[in-house]
A and B are shown apart, each in its own frame.
Chain A
C-alpha cells in the first residue's frame, strides 16, 4: 500500500487535453472517450429548452457556475450516434432504449444524440419530462396548478391544455429554423368556427396552438400525426427523444371525476406520444430513456422499483410497444472518465487547493464511486 501524499498534484492535473476540438458528434471516435464535448453559447439557446428541460436542473446550475456547458464523450453515446449514422431510414424506425443505474448519464447520452441530430438538420420531438403530465401537482399556489379538461375531439380522453402549450413552445424552440419549411397535408377542424387549411406550415400551426391554449393538445396530436403519416420526400428526418418513457406505462395521480384515478392511456398527450414510440412510421429514429426518480414522488400507491433491469420498469405493455429495440447500457464512469471529469473541474477552477492533490483526488473518487451524478454533487460543495 502506498500512502497518497498531501502535497503532490494528482493524476487529473497531468491531463493536458480536456476538450474535444471536433464540434460534430458524428466525427467523434473511440480515441475521444473521456474528452469534453462543448456546446457553444449560440447552440445552447436552441438545445436548453425553456420548459421541461432535457438537462437536469442541477447540471444546468453547475454549467452556469463554471460558465461552460459540456457533455463528456462516452462509449454509449458513441455507440448510439454510430447506430444513428448507419441505420436504414427507408424502412421502419429503429428504437434505442437506454438503461442503467440512476445518475449514470442516460439523459446526457440522449442529449448528446440530440445534439448530433440537430447538427444533421433533423426535426426533433422533445419529450423530456413526461412525469409532469401524469402527476397531480399539489401546490398551494392556485394559479400554478395545471388544469385538465375533457377533450373536445374525443370525449373519452383528457387534455392538458397548459402542458401541451408548453410542449409546443419547446418544439418551436428546438426546431426554430425548420418549422417554416414543413407543411401539413390535411385540413383540420378545431371547433365550429376554427379551421386550418392543408398546406399550412408547422410554425403557423404551433403558433395557433400556443395562442389558443384550449386546442393545444389537439395541435400537438396533429403534429405527431403529420410526422407519422409523412409521405413527401422533403419532410426532414425526425428524432423522437423520449426520456422517462416508463411514465407512459405506469399509473397517474390525476383525477377528473372524484375518487377515480385516470389511466395514462386516457390522457390525450400520452396516447399520442405512445404512437410515436411504435415502429409504424419511417424516416426517423426513436430514443427512449428510462427513469425511476419520478416513481416515489409520483405516487405513494406503488412500491419503489430499482432501475437496474430495464424490463421490470418498462413493464409488459411498454416492452410490447417498443419491441424490437436496441438496448444500450449506460454504466458508471470508468477510471479514465472519472479522472477526466475531475480534470475538467480543475480546468474551470472549480476544484482548487487541497482537492487537486493526490490525496484529495483519491478521496473524491472513493466517496463518489465513479458515479457521475455523485461526483457532480459532491464537487459542488467543495
Chain B
C-alpha cells in the first residue's frame, strides 16, 4: 500500500481555499489537495505525479479563481457598483444609446506566452438606420463599403480591422474608417451625375435604365397609364430575384412575367 501524503485529501483542508490560495501563484504540490499528474511519460509508466512534475510548475494555473473565490470577490466589490440603468432594459434601447458594437476576442491558453496574434482583430458593427443619412448618402456609403461589408437584409455595416499589430491601434483605425465613410458619403462629387448610378444594388432609377431609353424609341405619349404600368412591371421583374431562387420559376415569378407581358402588349398596342 502506498503511503499517501495527507494533502491528497480535500477534507483535510482547514478553512476556505481562497484563504490558502488568495493570489495567482506558482503551483505548490504541498498546498494543492488534488492528485494531479502532468508531463511526458516513459514507456509503460504513468506520467509524473505532482511532487516530481516540472511541467506543472511551468503552466499558468487559475487556482485563485475558483467559483467561491469569484463570488466572494464580487460580493466585496458590490458596494462600489451602481444599479444597471432602467432605460436600457431592452436590446433596442441599448442599440439606440450605443449604436456601435465592438467585438474582440481575448485568448487564454496554457502556453509559453500569454499573447495571441488573433486577439488584435477588431470588428465593429453599426446599423445604418442609426446614422443620419439621406438617400444619396446612404447609397454612396453602401457602395463604398461594398457588398461584403453591408448586409442589405438587416441593414448592418460591419468593419473588420486586422492590419495593425495591437488591438488598440485596430480599434482606433476602425473608428477612423467609420468616420471617414460617413463624411465621405455626404459629399457629392461632380462625377456623380445620374448617368453613373445603376440599379444593380436594388435602387432602381427609371430615368437612367436601359428600358427607359428603349421605350423612348417607340413613339408614345408619355402621360398614358400604360407607361406607368409598364414601369411598375419592369421594376417588379428586376427587383424580385433572390440568389437562392435563381433559375426556378415559382408562382410569384411566373406572375411577374405574365404581368410584364400584359403591360408590354398594352404598351405596344397589339
What residues make up the interface of A, taking CB atoms closer than 8 Å to B? 83, 86-88, 91-92, 94, 278-280, 305-313, 316, 319-321, 323-327, 329
Contact = CB atoms under 8 A, between A and B. Distances in A.
Contacts, number: 71
B234 A323 contact: yes
Nearest to A324: B264
A88 B269 contact: yes
Contacts of B211: 320, 323-324
B246 to A, nearest CB: 5
Question: A88, A313, A324: which has the most chain B beta carbons within 10 Å?
Answer: A324
B83 interface: no
A250 to B, nearest CB: 14
B264 A312 contact: no
A311 B257 CA distance: 9
A323 B237 CA distance: 11
Contacts of B246: 305, 309, 312
Closest 3 CB pairs of A and B: A320-B210, A308-B249, A306-B247
Contacts of A280: 217
Contact of A308 (B230, B248, B265, B268): B248
Main SS class of interface, A: mixed
Contact of A91 (B214, B218, B234): B218
B241 interface: yes
Contacts of B218: 91-92, 279, 324
A306 B265 CA distance: 27
Contacts of B219: 91-92
B91 interface: no
Interface in B216-249: 217-219, 230, 234, 237-238, 241, 246-249
Contacts of A278: 214
9 contacts: A92-B217, A92-B219, A305-B247, A306-B248, A309-B248, A310-B257, A311-B237, A313-B247, A320-B210
A94 B209 CA distance: 19
Question: B215, B248, B270: which has the most chain A beta carbons within 10 Å?
Answer: B270
A316 B247 contact: no
A132 B230 CA distance: 35
Given A305-B246, A324-B230, A325-B264, 10 more contacts: A88-B269, A92-B219, A94-B268, A279-B218, A308-B249, A309-B257, A324-B211, A324-B267, A326-B265, A329-B257
A316 B200 contact: yes
A326 B270 CA distance: 10
Nearest to A99: B257
Contacts of A307: 247
Interface of B: 200, 209-211, 214-215, 217-219, 230, 234, 237-238, 241, 246-249, 253, 257, 260-261, 264-265, 267-270
Contact of B241 (A87, A305, A312): A312
Given A312-B241, A312-B247, A327 B267 contact: no
Question: B209, B210, B219, B265: which has the most chain A beta carbons within 10 Å?
Answer: B210
Contact of A87 (B237, B238, B257, B268): B268
Contacts of A325: 264
A83 B264 CA distance: 12
A316 B210 CA distance: 10
B247 A326 contact: no
A266 B260 CA distance: 32
A324 to B, nearest CB: 5
A313 B270 CA distance: 27
A47 B200 CA distance: 42
A87 B268 CA distance: 8
B217 A279 contact: yes
A220 B31 CA distance: 96
Contacts of A319: 237-238
A203 B163 CA distance: 68
A324 B214 contact: yes
B269 to A, nearest CB: 7
A327 B259 CA distance: 10
B209 A320 contact: yes
Question: B210, B214, B215: which has the most chain A beta carbons within 10 Å?
Answer: B214
A325 B270 CA distance: 12
A290 B238 CA distance: 19
A94 B265 CA distance: 10
B261 A326 contact: yes
Contacts of B268: 87-88, 94, 324, 326
Contacts of B265: 326
A279 B214 contact: yes
A86 B264 CA distance: 15
Contacts of B209: 320
B210 A83 contact: no
